[in-house]
Amino acid sequence: TQTLIEISLRDQFPGMEGGWHYLDTAATAQKPRAVIDATVNALGRDYATVHRGVYARSAEMTLAFEAARRRVAGFLGGREEEIVFVRGATEAINLVANTWGAQTLKAGDRILLSTLEHHSNIVPWQLLRDRTGVEIDVCPLTDDGRIDLEAAERMLTPAHKLVAFAHVSNVLGSVLDVEHAARLAHNVGAKLLIDGCQAAPRIRLDVAALGCDFYTFSAHKLYGPTGVGALWVRSEILDAMPPWHGGGSMIDRVTFEKTTWAPAPQRFEAGTPAIAEVIGLAAAIDWLEDVGLDLAEAHERALATKLREELSRRNDVTVFGPAHSAGIVSFALDGVHPHDLGTILDEEGVAIRAGHHCAQPLMDHLGVPATARASFGLYNDESDIEALLKGIERTRRIFG
Ligand code: PMP
């Protein structure tokens, strides 16, 4: 594959030492030393609280923390006052459901999800449905496993107030045409929420150009720390959203009779935030942008395409999902449960994911209880594919 880029970033990742073949970046990415160092310094040398201290160290940490917000805004193409720090995409979607959703949606309103959504973009809406009586519709997939936007167009009605889709499927790697989805949603007056967990590390983003209304991702899949993520909300919407979690930092004035709220985004950040993790997230964005999102996308696409080609050569392997996948390939080896395959591969130093990938409705659609999934990061190269193929061959010999 002449498009495969010869970059070796592996040496920058302590988590890649020992020569193992880590193919589970869709679950969580390994961290480059730059991110680890930035996080450790924020917890050590530079550590202090934010937004409160009158002493210099705290003021400096506050500057760094708010600089990180600008960094995330720049990365997404939004404005800093539109960025809410959250624990991750799961919390972000729950936040939207519990604030914008609870305020805006009424019984009889409809939400459009898709068959390939992660549970974190299904269950918060079901919880909201149980409270409000909104209805959930499910957009089907094309034969090759992309969200079928022609079907979405036919399904959408003025009763739809929200469309919530994954930008990139964590199981199939299929990429959504977000601009198209935004036009369809807006045509019926619905908002568009995009779960960008798998897209943010792999695709150059610009929420203004994409035209969505909510966008979220988790730092830990973007080479950053766990426990932090970002939610971008178009400011007209964010400014009108009521708070969710109450506590310190999210208030303007508290009395026992009445409490008033801080403006967005502080209104949505109750309590002491994940200070060091936010600093680590900014470092991860610096690192990823230094590598270059175009290069990241090309690299992962090339590896995914190569793996699909190699797997398709075998007559005992089913490969799921579209030919063009953003760095994620799900497959099944005939007669072998994905967990058994994963266990044997582990003996070979190859780490894949086997399971339902928090996408049980998609498993039902594919007619399997689980898949084996290989997902790439910027530290992977063809040697990881070779090791995986060798492990599949050994599994075949063991299972016959
Ligand atoms: N959406 C997608 C597409 C994901 O891949 C994941 C993580 N597997 C999530 C949402 C949830 O992210 P987190 O667990 O970091 O909140």
Could you write out the three-class secondary structure of 236-285?
HHHHHCCCCCCCCCCEEEECCCCEEECCCCHHHCCCCCCHHHHHHHHHHH
d(CA 88, CA 92) in angstroms, rounded, equals 6
Q: Do 371 and 269 have their domain in common? A: no
Q: Where are the alpha helices (DSSP H) in the chain?
A: 33-43, 56-76, 89-96, 102-104, 123-132, 149-155, 178-187, 207-210, 235-240, 275-291, 293-312, 338-347, 360-366, 382-399
Please identify, by atom number, the ligand 1 atom nearest to the C-alpha of residue 26: 5
Mutate to test the pocket of ligand 1, among 24, 115, 118 (most ligand atoms within 8 A of CB): 118
Please identify, by atom number, the ligand 1 atom nearest to the C-alpha of residue 168: 3
The protein residue whose alpha carbon is closest to atom 5 in ligand 1 is 170
372: domain CATH number? 3.90.1150.10
Mutate to test the pocket of ligand 1, among 85, 116, 120 (most ligand atoms within 8 A of CB): 120
Q: What confidence score (pLDDT) does residue 19 get? A: 87
Residues linked to residue 215 through DSSP beta bridges, in sequence order = 194, 232
Q: Do 44 and 139 have their domain in common? A: yes
- Ligand 1 centroid, distance to 26 Cα (angstroms): 9
* Residue 29 domain-assigned (yes or no): no
Structure tokens, 223: 């080479």
Q: Do 232 and 87 have their domain in common? A: yes
181: domain CATH number? 3.40.640.10
Please identify, by atom number, the ligand 1 atom nearest to the C-alpha of residue 117: 3
Q: Do 117 and 218 have their domain in common? A: yes
Q: Which residues of the chain have pLDDT under 50?
A: 1-3
Instruction: Provide the number of structural domains found in the chain.
Output: 2
The answer, yes or no, to whether any atom of ligand 1 lies below 6 A from the CB of 99, is: no
* Residue 30 domain-assigned (yes or no): no
Q: Do 283 and 298 have their domain in common? A: no
The answer, yes or no, to whether any atom of ligand 1 lies below 6 A from the CB of 24, is: no
Enter the ipTM.
0.98
> Where among 236, 269, 290 does a domain terminate?
290
Q: Do 386 and 336 have their domain in common? A: yes
The answer, yes or no, to whether any atom of ligand 1 lies below 6 A from the CB of 120, is: yes
Q: What confidence score (pLDDT) does residue 4 get? A: 52
The protein residue whose alpha carbon is closest to atom 4 in ligand 1 is 197
Total H helices, total E strands in the chain: 14, 15
CA 26 to chain centre: 8
- Ligand 1 centroid, distance to 120 Cα (angstroms): 7
Mutate to test the pocket of ligand 1, among 90, 216, 371 (most ligand atoms within 8 A of CB): 90
The answer, yes or no, to whether any atom of ligand 1 lies below 6 A from the CB of 88, is: yes
Of 198, 174, 188, 24, residue with least CA distance to 121: 198
Q: Do 319 and 274 have their domain in common? A: no
d(CA 210, CA 216) in angstroms, rounded, equals 13
CB 40 within 8 A of CB 370: no
> Where among 290, 317, 344 does a domain terminate?
290
The answer, yes or no, to whether any atom of ligand 1 lies below 6 A from the CB of 355, is: no
d(CA 271, CA 379) in angstroms, rounded, equals 36
Q: Do 328 and 217 have their domain in common? A: no
Please identify, by atom number, the ligand 1 atom nearest to the C-alpha of residue 221: 15
* Residue 72 domain-assigned (yes or no): yes
Q: Do 249 and 363 have their domain in common? A: no
Q: What confidence score (pLDDT) does residue 318 get? A: 97
Q: Do 155 and 166 have their domain in common? A: yes
The answer, yes or no, to whether any atom of ligand 1 lies below 6 A from the CB of 114, is: no
Q: Do 329 and 367 have their domain in common? A: yes
d(CA 12, CA 373) in angstroms, rounded, equals 24
Read off the pTM: 0.97
Task: Determine what percent of the chain is predicted with pLDDT higher than 90.
Answer: 96
* Domain encompassing residue 151: 35-290
- Ligand 1 centroid, distance to 218 Cα (angstroms): 7
The answer, yes or no, to whether any atom of ligand 1 lies below 6 A from the CB of 161, is: no
- Ligand 1 centroid, distance to 145 Cα (angstroms): 19
The answer, yes or no, to whether any atom of ligand 1 lies below 6 A from the CB of 218, is: yes
Structure tokens, 31: 């961290």
Rg of the Cα atoms in the chain? 22
Structure tokens, 124: 């918060």
The protein residue whose alpha carbon is closest to atom 6 in ligand 1 is 197
Q: Which residues contact 364 (CB under 8 A, 6 or more apart)?
A: none
- Ligand 1 centroid, distance to 90 Cα (angstroms): 6
* Residue 217 domain-assigned (yes or no): yes
* Residue 160 domain-assigned (yes or no): yes
Q: Do 156 and 262 have their domain in common? A: yes
Q: What confidence score (pLDDT) does residue 7 get? A: 63
* Residue 191 domain-assigned (yes or no): yes
- pLDDT tens digits for range 13-46: 999 999 899 999 999 999 999 999 999 999 999 9
- Ligand 1 centroid, distance to 314 Cα (angstroms): 31
How does strand 317-320 pair with strand 259-261? unpaired
Of 296, 283, 285, residue with least CA distance to 326: 296
Indicate if 139 belongs to the active site. Answer: no
- Ligand 1 centroid, distance to 330 Cα (angstroms): 16
> Where among 244, 262, 290 does a domain terminate?
290
* Residue 3 domain-assigned (yes or no): no
Bond prior to 273 in cis (omega within 30° of 0) = no
* Residue 320 domain-assigned (yes or no): yes
Structure tokens, 180: 């198209």
